[in-house]
Amino acid sequence: MAQIFRREGSPFWYGRFQFQGRDIVFSTHKRDKRDAHTVLKLRLAETKGTTEVDDLFGAVLHSLDRLARGAANDEQRLRLNQKRHEMALRLVRAQAQKLPVADAWQAWLDSPRKRNPAASTLGMYGGVWRRFERWARERKIEFLHELASAHAEDYLALL
């Protein structure tokens, strides 16, 4: 049975559980009992090999929320928001399917869903796309999924 406990003289909670006949004891490095229990559940799931992505993601969000509540000033809150943004970008960049901006025009041309526009219309669309592709390259936007609403506003302002 998994449990959390405190050791004398330590401000942190510890976790303990048995797995395959071994007693596993570790510090959660958490002062809050609920946070320590969350760490214990994750560590137990990792050891058993039953970790779910949703559990891990939930733990990260929980930790970020706890940090936000404990932020003492605007500078700490700003750094925390920057870290959230960085983590979100890392998640987006880790997508299994990535369509490079450079390949998007050909992907659209090859798409069976598009209508069959006239050659003059395709030429106009191609010019618009090349302009957008150049703009994205200047901003080092490599994949379509990296585009955000702020990018769209920036591009619209340019047009």
Q: Where are the domains of the chain?
A: 3-93, 101-158
pLDDT recorded at residue 42? 86
State yes or no: pLDDT of 96 exceeds 70. Answer: no
State yes or no: pLDDT of 29 exceeds 70. Answer: yes
- Kindly state the average pLDDT of the residues 34-55: 85
pLDDT recorded at residue 61? 79
Q: Which residue has the higher pLDDT, 66 or 129?
A: 129
pLDDT recorded at residue 95? 67
pTM of the predicted protein model? 0.43
Measured CA to CA, the distance from residue 119 to residue 103 in angstroms comes to 20
